[in-house]
Chains A and B, each alone.
Chain A
Amino acid sequence: MAVVFQKPHALTDKELHYCPGCTHGIIHRLVAEAIDALQIEGETIGVAPVGCAVMAYDYFRCDMVEAAHGRAPAVATGLKRSLPDNIIFTYQGDGDLASIGMAEIVHAATRNENITVIFVNNAIYGMTGGQMAPTTLPGQVTQTSPYGRDVATAGYPIKVCELLSALDAPAYIARVAVNNVKNVRNAKKVIEKAFQNQIEKKGFSLVEVVSSCPTNWGMTPEKALQWVEDKMIPYYPLGVYRDKTAPAEEKEA
C-alpha cells in the first residue's frame, strides 16, 4: 500500500505534551517539513525556549539545546559562530522573545546573525497558566489582566515584525498564521524560505506565527482559531515585512 501521509523524519516519535487544539503541533510539523525538504537534519541544531515549547528538544530529531528564558538568540549566536556551516534555528514564544528576551532578539537581528527564528505568538503565557504577554491584545482578559489589558497601565502590545523591520540589518522578516488551511500552506512556504535563506548565508530570518491557545483563552479549539482570524490578525497583519533576499524585480511584483 502506498504511503500518502506520514510524520516528517525530523520529528521524533515522542508524544507531544501540548494541549488539545494547540497549534504548536502544526508549527513543529512545518519546521520539520522544512528540515526534511532541504535535507538538513544532520547539520541542524535547534534551540528550545522557556515556555510551552520548552521540551521541543525531545520532539526534533536534530541536535538540540535548551536555552534560558529569552536567551535563545544569544545561544544560537554562540552555536552559529562556532559552527558557521551548520543550520541553527530558535523556536520561541512571545513571552520568551518579546518580553524577557527582547534585547537578545533585537541584537541578533541587528547583527544579521545567519540564523532562523520561529516566533510563536499566541498573545499569552501558556506554560505558566495564562498570564498577560507582551503581545496580549488591548482589553484581552488574562490571569494577570483580569479586567482586560488596560493600555493606560500595561501599555500596548509589541509588534515584533514591525519593530525589527525598523533595523537596517535583518534579511527576512515575515508574519504568518496557522488558523486555516490556506494560512498553514503559506506558513509552510515562508518557514522553508527562512531556512533556505540561512543555507544561502543571507542572514537573519524571522517568521512570526500567529497562533492560538484554546486552554488559556478559555475557548474551544475552533473558536480560538476564529478569534485568531477576527482579533489577532487585524492587530498583527500577515505578510512579508522585510525581504533583502529577493532580487529587485521580484520585490516589485
Chain B
Amino acid sequence: MAEKVLMKGNEAIAEAALRAGCRHYFGYPITPQTELAAYMAKRMPKIGGVFLQAESEISAINMVYGVSSTGKRVMTSSSSPGVSLKQEGISYIAGADLPVLIVNVQRGGPGLGGIQPSQSDYFQATKGGGHGDYHLIVLTPASVQEMADLTALAFDLADKYRMPSMLLADGTLGQMMEPVELPEEDPHLIEKPWAVTGTKCAREHNIINSLYLVPEVLEKSNEDRYERYKKIEDLEVRYEEYMMDDAEYCLVAFGIAARVAKNAVVALREQGIKAGLIRPITVWPFPKKVIREAADKVKAFISVELSMGQMIEDVKLAEECRKPVYLCSRSGGMIPDPEQIITLVKNVEGGM
C-alpha cells in the first residue's frame, strides 16, 4: 500500500491527473482553485508536459479542445464564473465527441458571487450547461482522497465514452488538507483512431467537427450520443449508502454537504431517529434507482445542498412523488451545519 501524504484537495487533483497520464493543462487564474494551476505550472515543465496560462477561460477550453483533438489526455480547471465562460467550448467538445476533463471548484453565485464554497452550479453541470443536447459525466468528490481517485476515473470514463467529464468540487474541498494515498502512475491510455495527428498521406483525413447542416444527420448524431448516454446511465452510476438499511429519513447529499449530512445521521441515530444517507458520487448519471427503491422504505427525503435547492429536483424526479422531499440548504458560501439538518428532520418527524 502506498504511503499517505498530506495534500490540499486542489493539489491532489493535479497530482492525480499527472499520474493518469495528463501532460497538458490550460487554465486562467481564479479563486478558489489556484493551487491546482500553480501545481501544474511547477510540475509540467519538469516532466515534459505543457502548462499554459491562457488569455481567458474561453481560450483555455479551446486549447483543451485542440489537444483532445490529437487524442491526448488534457484538462482545465476553474471556478464557477470561469466555468460559465467555458460553456461554449464545452458544448463544442460534447458535439465533437472529445474526451476532456473539466474541474469546477465551485464558489457562490450568481454573477461574481463570492469566493466561498458552493454547490450552486449543479444545474449547469448536470443538465448540459451550454447550448444543445448533451451531458457531461459529473463526479463529485467528498474528500481529498476522492479528489485524487475520481480524477483518474474521470479521465478513464471520458476516454471510454468519448465525452467530456467534470469533477464537481467546491472551495472547501479544494482548500482543505487531508491525508491522501495517491493512485499509482498507471494511465489506462486507449487507441484513438479518430484523432487528428496528420494523415501521413496514408489514410483519409480525420475531421473533428460539430457542424451538421443536414437536420436528419444532426438528429442522428444526437440520437447516437444519447444511445451512449443511456449505456452510461445503466453502467456508470456511483453512490454511497450510509446507514440506509433501516432508515426512515433519507438524507441525500454530495460533496462537502454529504460530510455534514453524515455527522447529522450519526447524531440523529444517537437521539433515536433512524436517519440514513444516500451520497451520489455521480450526479450525472444520477443514482435514480437507489433513490426510487428507498422511496418504498423511508418516510421522507431531505436534500442537503450548498445552494437554494438544485439537486432536490433530481431527487423528486427519482423518487416519483412517493414520499415528501424537504430541502435543507445554505447558499452564497454558507455551509449547513449538522444542527440545521437535525432540527429539520425532527420537525419532519413531528409532522411539519
Which residues of A are in contact with B by a Cβ distance under 8 Å? 12, 41-45, 47, 54-55, 57-58, 60-68, 71, 74-83, 86, 103-104, 106-107
Contacts and interface: CB of A to CB of B under 8 A. Distances in A.
A63 B211 contact: no
Contacts of A79: 66-67, 69-70, 196
A62 B62 contact: no
B207 A64 contact: yes
Nearest to A55: B211
Counting chain B CB atoms within 10 Å of each CB, which of A42, A63, A86, A106 scores highest?
A63
Contacts of B276: none
Nearest to A66: B209
A12 B198 CA distance: 15
A12 B202 CA distance: 15
B205 A63 contact: yes
Interface stretch (B52-60, B144-152, B158-166): B52-60
Contacts of A82: 24, 50, 66-67, 70, 72, 74
Nearest to A57: B207
A75 B196 CA distance: 12
Given A44-B198, A75-B65, A78-B65, A57 B209 contact: yes
A63 B197 contact: yes
Contacts of A54: 211
Nearest to A107: B55
A81 B63 contact: yes
B134 interface: no
Contacts of A66: 96, 207-211
A114 to B, nearest CB: 13
Given A68-B92, A71-B89, A78 B198 contact: no
A81 B205 contact: no
Contacts of B196: 45, 63-65, 79
By secondary structure, the A interface counts as helix
B52 A81 contact: yes
A75 B66 contact: yes
Interface in B35-86: 50, 52, 54-56, 58-60, 62-70, 72, 74
For the complex of A and B, 3 pairs with smallest distance between CB atoms? A78-B66, A74-B62, A63-B196
B56 A103 contact: yes
B26 interface: yes
Contacts of A67: 62, 65, 92
Interface in B233-279: none
Given A64-B206, A75-B66, 5 more contacts: A47-B66, A58-B207, A66-B208, A75-B63, A81-B63
Contact of B199 (A55, A62, A65, A77): A62
A78 B64 contact: yes
A68 B90 CA distance: 11
B75 to A, nearest CB: 12
Nearest to A106: B55
Nearest to B50: A81
6 contacts: A12-B205, A57-B209, A77-B52, A77-B59, A77-B63, A77-B66
A44 B54 CA distance: 24
Contact of A78 (B26, B56, B88): B26
B201 interface: yes
A103 B55 contact: yes
